[in-house]
A and B are shown apart, each in its own frame.
Chain A
Amino acid sequence: MSTMAEPAKAEAKDTGGKALSAGARQERRLGWLLCAPAVIVMIAVTAYPIGYAVYLSLQRYDLRFPAQAEFVGLTNYGAVLTSPFWWDAFWVTVFLTAVSVAIELVLGMGLALVMHRTLFARGTVRTAVLIPYGIVTVVAAFSWQYAWTPELGYLASLLPEGDAPLTEQWPALWLIILAEVWKTTPFMALLLLAGLALVPEETLKAAMVDGATPWQRFTKVMLPLMKPAILVALLFRTLDAFRIFDNIYVLTAGAHGTGSLSILGYDNLFTALNLGIGSAISVLIFICVGIIAFTFVKLFGAAAPGAEVKR
């Protein structure tokens, strides 16, 4: 009726390289086929232009005098990196990024805990928190601008007569941070909330039984368990904050020493109309972002690819 095999160790028989089965081949082809359009679009719209930007950055290319375009090697980079404008913008960007991400992390964690723990009106709170996320940044920025404009805004009226905070460097920088924090904390909070949901309730109960205070439960149990979620949130928010543009453009237009790198790049292109220098700035910003991402991954051990992206 049936034969039976000797009890045997399941060693792979040596058959050499057998071709893939028809099913696997078909699956492979379908996979490529389905991904192809997305890949082509992504390469065409990002990889090619960034390559083109590198090419442009090696040219002297002033839009006012297009005929004079010529290859100048790294001259544009030299010009940018020795320019005080670049370094001012660079440090402003670093400052804005570091401070706003730090504040967002603390506030976002608080907000996440509120959303996680609150006993009632949870839906209302979540909806309210989503509103800053959904609002167009430019709209929010105008709201803040009007709030701080003397004789117009409710917040400006709290200040001493004659104060115009948006026209002074430090107050303006802090207001930019405020606007940025308001807009993006909810996103941070949602990512952290997702991380909180991964902390098993029983583990917290066990810690409570073991005599941990609420603060100890938070620092010794929750935070370590949430580490991956925190890192992902930090990475994405840092990279996002580094390209800050909308808020500054509306609030100060980059005046009074508040211009970020993105503002600098934009101004060079559209005000100075210098495509060569503008492209060099683009490439340098791209390198900065690459360094940040690389540092994050190296320092904190890969912040899981497959992670959520901003917005």
Chain B
Amino acid sequence: MAAAGRTHAGRWAVVNVVVVLYALFPVWWIVALSFKDPGTLTDGDYIPTDWTFENYRGIFATSEFTRALINSIGIALIATAIAVVLGTMAAYAVARLRFPGKQVLIGMSLLIAMFPPISLVSPLFNIERIIGIFDTWPGLIIPYMTFSLPLAIYTLSAFFREIPWDLEKAAKVDGATAAQAFRLVIVPLAAPGVFTTAILVFIFCWNDFLFAISLTSTESARTVPAAIAFFTGSSQFQQPTGSIAAAAVVITVPIIVFVLLFQRRIVAGLTSGAVKG
């Protein structure tokens, strides 16, 4: 019995290790590359023989990367903030209020969630050039917040639905106005959901590549994923591998930290809408 239990546990351990390796190996590979000096870059080793920060120093010395990093952070944060605010308002209405047109709103968000971004690239490219926001922060913030709105609305309305109706009724009977009930009861309880949604939306904006390369043309609004793709080596014959690896690690670290800290919440947020469907 005990032996059987041990082999059972052993089998799970093997499976778990395989899963973890599967998930982490490509990440480790790019981390290893980022610490290799140009001489050993091609040795194919999983662990750098000579550790060097040269690649990192290199990318932070150029405005090409630092500017892109600022763009990435700024654009993602602003888009997240707007999407979460608008999403919270709509999600509250969807979860709590009866009004005609609710189904239309839900259907429309679903449609946008399925929308192929490439279909928007050509018209947005032209529209943004005409109204002069091509290659600016708003030029990226606007599509980002739009495409993350459905995500925000679904996740948040799932969270709102979990707040018992009775609490709002109780607040009203206790003498609260609608605004007080929202501020003193709903907001504190919804905060975890709003936070989770913000993380998911941020990851979405942070990840985007298609809009970033299509709607920017210079450093002024280009985000890191797009900038990496345009990295060039210091000479024509040198591949920018080390720089790309270092830049990749830099933009990966915050996401990994988020994931480590808020694993449970992210899972809850990602699956909330799907379960209640």
Contact = CB atoms under 8 A, between A and B. Distances in A.
The answer to whether A and B come from one shared complex is yes
A152 B44 contact: yes
Given A45-B142, A279-B123, A136 B118 contact: no
B276 A140 contact: no
A214 to B, nearest CB: 13
B225 A265 contact: no
Contact of B93 (A35, A133, A157): A35
Given A146-B245, A147-B29, A293-B114, A41 B126 contact: no
A84 interface: no
Interface stretch (A2-10, A168-176, A193-201, A215-223): A193-201
B177 interface: no
A175 B210 CA distance: 20
A190 B270 contact: yes
B23 interface: yes
A154 to B, nearest CB: 5
Contacts of A232: 274, 277
B181 to A, nearest CB: 12
A282 B9 CA distance: 52
Contacts of A243: 116-118
Interface stretch (B54-62, B143-151, B163-171, B183-191): B143-151
A143 B29 contact: yes
B225 A31 contact: no
A53 B118 CA distance: 11
B7 interface: no
Given A121-B16, A143-B30, A266-B118, A30 B274 contact: no
Interface string B120-133: 11111111000000
A94 B102 CA distance: 34
Nearest to A240: B114
A232 B150 CA distance: 15
A282 B123 contact: yes
Contacts of A242: 116
Nearest to A304: B277
B106 interface: yes
Interface string A160-192: 000000000000000000000010001100110
Interface string A200-234: 00000000000000000000000000001100110
A308 interface: yes
Contacts of B116: 239, 242-243, 262, 282, 285-286, 288-289
B270 to A, nearest CB: 5
Q: Please report whether the interface of chain B is mostly helix, strand, loop or mixed according to DSSP.
A: helix
A46 interface: yes
A142 interface: yes
Interface residues on B, range: 35 or more
A308 to B, nearest CB: 4
B124 to A, nearest CB: 5
Given A131-B259, A139-B251, A275 B275 contact: no
Given A46-B112, A191-B274, A311-B203, A28 B119 contact: no
A309 B29 CA distance: 30
Contact of B154 (A53, A131, A309): A309
A276 to B, nearest CB: 9
Given A37-B86, A128-B19, A232-B274, A157 B44 contact: yes
A136 B225 contact: yes
Interface in A107-151: 111, 114, 117-121, 123-140, 142-144, 146-147, 151
Which 8 pairs show the lowest CB-CB distances between chains A and B? A31-B99, A304-B277, A194-B271, A309-B113, A308-B274, A49-B123, A308-B273, A45-B146
Given A128-B19, A194-B275, 12 more contacts: A27-B98, A32-B93, A53-B120, A125-B16, A134-B256, A186-B23, A194-B271, A232-B277, A245-B117, A281-B118, A286-B119, A306-B273
Interface of A: 24, 27-28, 30-32, 34-35, 37-39, 41-43, 45-46, 49-50, 52-53, 56, 111, 114, 117-121, 123-140, 142-144, 146-147, 151-154, 156-157, 182, 186-187, 190-191, 193-195, 197-198, 228-229, 232-233, 236, 239, 242-243, 245-246, 249-250, 261-262, 265-266, 269-270, 275, 278-279, 281-283, 285-286, 288-289, 293, 304-311
